[in-house]
């Protein structure tokens, strides 16, 4: 049971001083706190600093690696806050395992086969217009061996290899087959026959067939699909047949290369919203410039930063006692991020003034610190993440000179970052209700 005694203001903070009479308030009993022993020898209060001034802002990664992703993403959707967003997937085409082609073989057709992996976003009741285009240039990695979310390679949008219109089914579903142009099949067969015995046929094939990009018509498509990537999928399937006593169907599969050269390209099309003003990875959009809302989103690279501009003030009250616990309560916006769409894992790291030199916060087990998500599935009013930053703030307060230009950043797991549009829209500390805040609990010793 907690009894509130009084409130007063000091150093610009609002304090609630509560006499701790029992262990009922469990959030103050974690770690080394043992109220029972303290009250034997002194008058002791637990001080809850429930509105410590913190500054939230949205930042954006300049770029991030998307090559060798575990899934391909294709589609377009309209985010209620961030606007029009699109993703394309690029692949080199692997040469056939055999260049044999019997003169009696008859070419039938060619298809691209894709297997959904169960990920989807947007309105799957609407039609999805999938498009396949041949690349004009070879996919080459950067000097560091990677491909990034902003990379692209040339293709002619007026000359598709094939298109398919369908209604996507949530969940893995069956394979999607896109009929490709017969001319493309004929090009492959002609190449196989011409270079069957050439010593450099594999290299020459890669030079002739640079690969494909999987895209959608964003004017008609309002959903995003995840595609399984494995050793044998996705692939281009070539159908032919021979006729002797009976018809013999022949199937050849040409895989799309799943390696360091396949990647997802993410595109933000809106240039007139608040978040598009973040020009580089060193910039930040303070919450007061975005109506108190903060964006954390995979694919686009948006992240949430928190700064502690008045951290030095806490040094002045250390003489009154010591910190027991510090918690960041991050509250999703219930309309833009309903509880059913919240990411399970959100990590927290330290970073410097220019959003660089990141160091993950760790638990006592030396694992990456993540938030604990509390769900209010009935009213969605008390849904929030809690991050225990007690050790971090204690460490910061031991610095000889407290560097207030250091901050913390909330980010999503790297697998989510490159394989989804997972998002979390958060109420900042200035939001009108259900604002995110830092709570600090202090032992306060009354020595008078």
In a domain, 434, yes or no: yes
Q: How many domains does the chain have?
A: 2
Q: Is there a single domain that holds both residue 250 and residue 327?
A: no
Q: Is there a single domain that holds both residue 121 and residue 253?
A: yes
In a domain, 274, yes or no: no
pLDDT at 445: 63
pLDDT at 324: 78
In a domain, 42, yes or no: no
Point out the domain boundary residue: 239, 268, 297: 268
Helix residue ranges per DSSP H, 157-274: 182-194, 201-208
Q: Is there a single domain that holds both residue 293 and residue 159?
A: no
pLDDT at 244: 83
Q: pLDDT tens-digit profile of 142-152? A: 999 999 999 99
| Residue in 249, 122, 227, 106 with CA at minimum distance from that of residue 178 | 227
Q: Is there a single domain that holds both residue 258 and residue 125?
A: yes
Residues of the chain with pLDDT under 70: 1-52, 317-323, 444-448
pLDDT at 46: 61
Neighbours of 284 (CB within 10 A): 22
Neighbours of 71 (CB within 10 A): 19
Cis, peptide link before residue 234, omega less than 30° from 0: yes
Average pLDDT, the chain: 86
Instruction: Look up residue 192 and give its two tokens.
Output: 């196989």
pLDDT at 52: 66
Q: Is there a single domain that holds both residue 197 and residue 86?
A: yes
Point out the domain boundary residue: 268, 292, 315: 268
> Cα separation of 43 and 170, whole Å?
60
31: alpha, beta or left? (left if phi > 0; alpha if psi -120 to 50) = left
pLDDT at 228: 94
| Residue in 79, 50, 53, 57 with CA at minimum distance from that of residue 293 | 57
> Cα separation of 160 and 158, whole Å?
6
Strands 223-228 and 423-427: unpaired
Q: Is there a single domain that holds both residue 53 and residue 90?
A: no
Q: Is there a single domain that holds both residue 325 and residue 205?
A: no
In a domain, 31, yes or no: no
Q: Is there a single domain that holds both residue 384 and residue 327?
A: yes
Q: Is there a single domain that holds both residue 85 and residue 197?
A: yes
In a domain, 41, yes or no: no
Question: Which domain covers residue 157, as residue numbers?
Answer: 71-268
In a domain, 123, yes or no: yes
Q: pLDDT tens-digit profile of 47-85? A: 666 546 899 999 999 999 999 999 999 999 999 999 999
In a domain, 34, yes or no: no
Q: Is there a single domain that holds both residue 227 and residue 302?
A: no
Q: Is there a single domain that holds both residue 230 and residue 342?
A: no
Q: Is there a single domain that holds both residue 260 and residue 285?
A: no
Residues 6+ away with beta carbon under 8 Å from 13: 49, 51, 52, 53, 313
| Residue in 343, 339, 295, 333 with CA at minimum distance from that of residue 434 | 333
In a domain, 24, yes or no: no
Point out the domain boundary residue: 268, 296, 314: 268
pLDDT at 42: 41
pLDDT at 284: 97
């Amino acid at each position: 049971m907690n009894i509130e005694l009084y409130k007063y203001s000091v150093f610009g903070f609002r304090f609630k001083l509560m006499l701790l009479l029992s262990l009922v308030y469990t959030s103050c009993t974690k770690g080394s706190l043992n109220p029972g022993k303290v009250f034997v020898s002194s008058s002791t209060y637990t001080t809850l600093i429930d509105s410590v001034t913190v500054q939230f802002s949205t930042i954006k990664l300049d770029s991030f690696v998307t090559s060798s992703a575990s899934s391909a993403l294709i589609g377009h959707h309209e985010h209620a806050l961030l606007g029009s967003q699109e993703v394309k997937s690029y692949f080199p085409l692997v040469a056939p395992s055999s260049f044999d082609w019997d003169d009696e073989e008859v070419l039938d057709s060619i298809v691209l086969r894709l297997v959904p992996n169960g990920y989807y976003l947007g309105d799957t009741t609407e039609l999805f217009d999938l498009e396949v285009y041949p690349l004009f240039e070879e996919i080459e990695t950067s000097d560091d061996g990677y491909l990034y979310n902003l990379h692209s390679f040339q293709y002619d949008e007026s000359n598709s290899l094939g298109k398919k219109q369908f209604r996507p089914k949530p969940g893995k579903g069956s394979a999607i087959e896109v009929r490709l142009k017969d001319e493309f099949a004929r090009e492959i067969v002609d190449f196989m026959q011409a270079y069957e015995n050439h010593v450099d046929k594999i290299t020459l094939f890669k030079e002739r067939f640079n690969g494909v990009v999987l895209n959608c018509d964003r004017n008609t498509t309002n959903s995003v699909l995840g595609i399984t990537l494995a050793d044998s999928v996705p692939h281009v399937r070539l159908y032919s047949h021979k006729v002797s006593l009976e018809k013999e169907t022949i199937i050849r599969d040409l895989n799309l290369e799943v390696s360091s050269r396949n990647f997802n390209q993410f595109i933000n099309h809106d240039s007139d919203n608040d978040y598009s003003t973040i020009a580089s990875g060193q910039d930040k959009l303070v919450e007061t410039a975005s109506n108190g809302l903060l964006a954390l989103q995979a694919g686009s690279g948006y992240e949430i930063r928190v700064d502690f501009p008045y951290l030095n003030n806490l040094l002045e009250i250390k003489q009154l006692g010591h910190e027991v616990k510090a918690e960041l309560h991050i509250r999703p916006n219930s309309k833009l991020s309903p509880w059913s769409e919240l990411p399970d894992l959100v990590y927290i790291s330290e970073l410097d003034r220019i959003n660089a030199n990141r160091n993950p916060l760790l638990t006592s087990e030396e694992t990456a610190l993540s938030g604990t998500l509390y769900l209010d599935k009935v009213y969605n009013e008390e849904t929030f993440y809690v991050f225990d930053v007690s050790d971090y703030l204690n460490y910061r307060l031991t610095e000889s000179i407290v560097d207030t230009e250091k901050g913390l950043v909330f980010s999503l797991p790297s697998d989510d970052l490159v394989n989804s549009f997972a998002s979390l829209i958060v109420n900042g500390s200035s939001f009108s209700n259900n604002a995110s805040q830092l709570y600090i609990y202090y032992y306060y010793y009354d020595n008078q």
